[in-house]
Structure 1
Amino acid sequence: MLEQAFRGKRCLITGGLGFIGSNLAFRLVELGAEVIIVDSLVAEYGGNMANVHGLAEQVRINIADVRDQHSLQYLVQGQDYLFNLAGQVSHIDSMENPFNDLDINCRAQLSILEACRHNNPAIKIVFASTRQIYGRPDYVPVDEQHLLHPTDVNGINKMAGEWYHILYNNVYGIRACALRMTNTYGPRMLVRHARQTALGWFVRQALDDEVISIYGDGEQQRDYTYVDDAVEAFLLAAINPAADGQVFNLGGPEPISHLRLISTLTDVAGTGSYRLVPFPPEKARIDIGSVYSDYSRIQAVLGWQPTTSLRQGLEYTVNFYREFREAYW
């Protein structure tokens, strides 16, 4: 079904040199799509040419900032699908530099949508949102009816970016939907520092045979989505008209405690250990406790569900970084 839907289609991926965007690019090329990648190639945000190793000759790469409306007006023309993954995702960075987060996660999103409205209103957009917008949950698992009360600047701006897309769908007929992702992991994620993804940093520490610090008692629960499963959700949302104007949670096979996560990771890696430590003040202020998602809605509407177990996903991830360590450390 997906190969028939995407063969020969023109697909634009913003943030395409980052973690999820690059994995999506590989899958789209495999399906026969014509792919353009747009990325500002800011290393701190995950942009990395190594992410398209072996693929660069099969896609067009445009180094541009999504805040540059003139570039976007040209790039969106003639595209069938836009996978909008450009953004600043560090919660800590958003608190330290809130105006930069506002610029990337709000203004840039409006630039993208305005470029589509004026230059390609027939395009279909899938926006990468986040379960972070729920904040500290009132109940778990969180479903799409849960109130939105984010606990940091990043969550507020991602919430606004999501709803700009839904607004343009409802008012201007720019077909758009949003996927609220939760703890996506796998090959090509940023592991150079801990400001973007905790699990990426844990993988690095385990492979370096370091002691991993777990905050609190380690019983906080999360769910984890392997990147190939997340990519399939983007593809299904793009081709299905039932997704237009909708928001969907993604999720993992099951909630898992931090202790069990790290235990599984170190077992898979064969290296690394852990210790329990108190929360640092800057992290305690925005911690959300246990949170995991109810993905039954996207399962019912689009037929999506995660298929990769945590252990299997960690094995794929560890093997990838062992092979390509120099490009990511």
Structure 2
Amino acid sequence: MSEFLSKRVLITGGLGFIGSNLARRLVGLGADVTLVDSLIPQYGGNFQNIADIRDRLTVNICDVRDPFAIEHLVREQHFLFNLAGQTSHLDSMTDPQTDLDINASAQLSLLEACRKANPGIRLVFASTRQLYGRPDYLPVDEKHPIRPVDVNGINKLAGEGYHLLYSNVYDIRASVLRLTNTYGPGMRVVDARQTFLGIWIRQLIEGSAIKVFGDGLQLRDFNFVDDCVDALLLAATNEAAIGQVYNLGSREVVNLKSLAELMIQMVAGGRFEIVPFPADRKAIDIGDYYSDFSAIERDLEWTPKVDLKTGLAQTIAYYQQHHAHYWNAST
């Protein structure tokens, strides 16, 4: 990854979960890193996420919905990792306008800023597997029909479309990654806005029962954050990725009951219970899902390296040590 040495790199959503882990890797690679984050409490930005590298990068508190600030920030950057977004599927249904503003309108403004101020920038956009909706077949590849089951999926699809359009029409060198259940140190654990694994870990550490919705037999795949960071870096430095959409995923597929059983073995007194789906969650549940990631494996030689047991143990240990910085949603 010598391509990042002394290069200027901008990360939107940089104080959040994936952005901060990406920043840590880039700082280690010798990049000049600037993080952009609005620090809106519900979205997961947290200075604790960069406590160990705070003096080795620049932080700009800014909202991606501010087109004038964004145009200034993208100037003279070599790379842009566009990770800022509203991630809660439930919030997108109760406040669809905000989801539209952040996940669609702001993405178009950001691309316009790149077109005007820095058309040579290399850009990677973080999208989501949620836009596929309920799968027709498994594993889900990039040719699967797109049928979002919530507003978030529709707006993330629009964000994808803008990036691909600007790549095709204006030669903005953009790539799209569809992430699936990314987890690890730094993820939001105060609630389930980023991933249900977050609130499961909090319940586990606090000594309350992990609540598994439905029958617990829903299948999922997971990526540890280090593997996700690998994919982002490969997409940013490989010409084959320009104008492409890639699924991330894992060959390690597990049902949620088995996942809970694995996790409670890692903390003394851990337990779980099967509970009915809340009506609002049941309405947008997609059932079984796991990805076919053979395209990114073929083109970029990416494959996940961290197994689920190892990644979970590392994540739980992190929050056992640092939970005071994460239990409060306003931090």
TM-score category of the 2 structures, normalised to the smaller one = over 0.9
Q: Are 2:68 and 1:70 aligned? A: yes
Show the 5 A alignment for 1:175-186.
175-186=173-184
Bigger shift: 203-212 or 92-101? Answer: 203-212
Partners of 1:24 and 1:191 lie apart in 2 by 19
Aligned equivalent of 2:208: 210
Question: Which 4+ runs in 1 deviate beyond 3 A?
Answer: none
Contact 1:76 1:120 in 2 (8 A): yes
Contact 1:80 1:124 in 2 (8 A): yes
Code of the aligned partner of 1:125: L
Kindly tell me the number of residue pairs found equivalent between the two proteins. 327
Aligned equivalent of 1:197: 195
Show the 5 A alignment for 1:211-226.
211-226=209-224
Q: Displacement of 1:216 after TM fit? A: 1.3
Q: Displacement of 1:324 after TM fit? A: 0.9
Partners of 1:295 and 1:166 lie apart in 2 by 19
Determine helix, strand or coil for the equivalent of 2:176. strand
Show the 5 A alignment for 1:304-315.
304-315=302-313
Contact 1:253 1:308 in 2 (8 A): no
TM-score (norm 1): 0.98
Q: Displacement of 1:194 after TM fit? A: 2.1
Aligned equivalent of 1:120: 118
Code of the aligned partner of 1:165: H
| CA deviation string 1:97-126 (max 9, x = no partner) | 000000000010011100000000000100
Aligned equivalent of 1:151: 149
Q: Are 2:41 and 1:43 aligned? A: yes
Partners of 1:92 and 1:187 lie apart in 2 by 23
Aligned equivalent of 1:87: 85
Contact 1:268 1:311 in 2 (8 A): no
Aligned equivalent of 1:105: 103
Q: Displacement of 1:277 after TM fit? A: 1.3
Q: 2:138 aligns with which of 130, 137, 140?
A: 140
Contact 2:187 2:194 in 1 (8 A): no
Partners of 2:128 and 2:192 lie apart in 1 by 18
Show the 5 A alignment for 1:270-309.
270-309=268-307
Bigger shift: 192-201 or 163-172? Answer: 192-201
Code of the aligned partner of 1:65: D
Partners of 2:62 and 2:275 lie apart in 1 by 41
Contact 1:207 1:271 in 2 (8 A): no
Contact 1:19 1:51 in 2 (8 A): yes
Partners of 2:90 and 2:246 lie apart in 1 by 25
Partners of 2:251 and 2:267 lie apart in 1 by 21
Code of the aligned partner of 2:86: Q
Partners of 2:258 and 2:8 lie apart in 1 by 42
Partners of 2:268 and 2:182 lie apart in 1 by 22
Aligned equivalent of 1:260: 258
Q: Displacement of 1:252 after TM fit? A: 2.1
Q: Are 2:322 and 1:324 aligned? A: yes
| CA deviation string 1:260-307 (max 9, x = no partner) | 111111112233211111111111110100000001100000000000
> Mind listing any 5+ residue stretches in structure 2 that lack a counterpart?
none
> Mind listing any 5+ residue stretches in structure 1 that lack a counterpart?
none
